[in-house]
Homo-oligomer: A and B are copies of this chain.
Amino acid sequence: MSNIREVSRAAGVSIATVSRAISSPDKVSETALKKVYAAIEKVGYRPNMMARNFRAVRAYSIVVLVPNLSNLFFATVIRGIEDAAQQKGYAVLLGDTRDSHDREQEYTRLVETRQADGILQLRPHTPGKSLEPDSGMPMVSACGCENTPYPSVRIDNTGAAREIVDYLITQGHRRIGVLAGLPDNPHSNDRLQGYRQSLENAGVPFDPDLLVNGDFTMGSGQMAASHFARMKDRPTAVFSMNDEMAIGCIQGLKSAGIRVPEEMSITGFDDIEFARYSDPPLTTIAQPAEELGRASFNTLLELIEGKELQQTETVLPYEFVVRKSTPALRR
């Protein structure tokens, strides 16, 4: 690891000047400051962050805001973030916000007090409920939705949902339930749009009775199953907006005596590892979770380094994975 002596050598100034530039930048000429900062960059010096007045240089850490760390999709995105950050010498500060806006705000103080250089937000942008972009704060959405008002990395949620519902239609289904997230969740809205587009293209009218809102947990999927099971005119397939809800729904349907997939097909979203080990294994959308994490860190780093972004939105490819939960409908 490089030290203050190397900075002094690279900057061509005394060690005392380097030290002053770090602790009391106002006491050092602008020319000397520039030299010191350039040298710090060059030799990769990581100063003691406790130096209170160390404001003009970087903390070499970022904050990740995650609504729920026990959600496997988010945990995998964070693995990607952490991997990319570590390669660039950045530390990752974890903010498990438990979906609380107050906790999000507390974490932004780490950036305001320069203990972190920027924010990666995993919660999709919900106006009034999640952080607004702030001019002074580099921030990137790692799980973007359409119309995220700040730089984001995402997949085409609407297109993916359309593709999966199109497939169910080609398998013979016309009565397709949809297990969505909460009504104000932007991912849920983007995916619902894809569901509706697919039905419309196939000339199938939208039936609001077939829409159930969950909260992306297995428990909510299980509850949704009892709604579908009790219906007089049951769906023959259910499009669930994540794998956890699909897995919970399968258990609920089985408990209600409905065979899956024989009597009801089901699809997921995300392709967490458990999707493959579910019974039946889930047809789903494989999101590039680690890659979303890596790409969002790299975008944030460009912002931190003051570079101009080539694009404010990066849309990564997803993969449609067919497994045994969606056989052709037999009539």
Alpha-carbon distance between A277 and B279 when the two chains are bound, in angstroms = 10
B residues in contact with A96, CB < 8 Å: 78-79, 82-83
Count class of interface residues, chain A? 35 or more
Within 8 A of B (CB), among A229-279: 247-248, 250-251, 254, 273-274, 276-277, 279
Alpha-carbon distance between A83 and B94 when the two chains are bound, in angstroms = 11
Please determine whether B277 and A114 come into contact, CB atoms closer than 8 angstroms. no
* A153: min CB distance to chain B, Å: 19
* A76: min CB distance to chain B, Å: 5
Please determine whether A114 and B1 come into contact, CB atoms closer than 8 angstroms. no
* A302: min CB distance to chain B, Å: 21
Which of A12-20, A32-40, A46-54 faces chain B? Answer: A46-54
Say yes or no for A86: interface residue by CB 8 A criterion.
yes
Please determine whether B82 and A75 come into contact, CB atoms closer than 8 angstroms. no
Please determine whether B69 and A75 come into contact, CB atoms closer than 8 angstroms. yes
Which of A102-110, A123-131, A182-190 faces chain B? Answer: A102-110
Say yes or no for A201: interface residue by CB 8 A criterion.
no
B residues in contact with A312, CB < 8 Å: none
Please determine whether A46 and B279 come into contact, CB atoms closer than 8 angstroms. no
Q: Which residues of A contact B (CB under 8 A)?
A: 1, 46, 48-50, 57-59, 61, 64, 69-70, 72, 75-76, 78-79, 82-83, 86, 91-96, 98, 103, 106, 109-110, 113-115, 218, 222, 247-248, 250-251, 254, 273-274, 276-277, 279
Please determine whether B76 and A70 come into contact, CB atoms closer than 8 angstroms. yes
Alpha-carbon distance between A277 and B58 when the two chains are bound, in angstroms = 46
A-B pairs, 9 with minimum CB distance: A82-B96, A92-B94, A279-B279, A75-B75, A49-B115, A94-B94, A50-B57, A69-B79, A91-B93
Please determine whether A69 and B61 come into contact, CB atoms closer than 8 angstroms. no
B residues in contact with A79, CB < 8 Å: 69-70, 96
Question: Across the two chains, which residue of chain B brings its CB closest to A47?
Answer: B113
Please determine whether B91 and A110 come into contact, CB atoms closer than 8 angstroms. yes
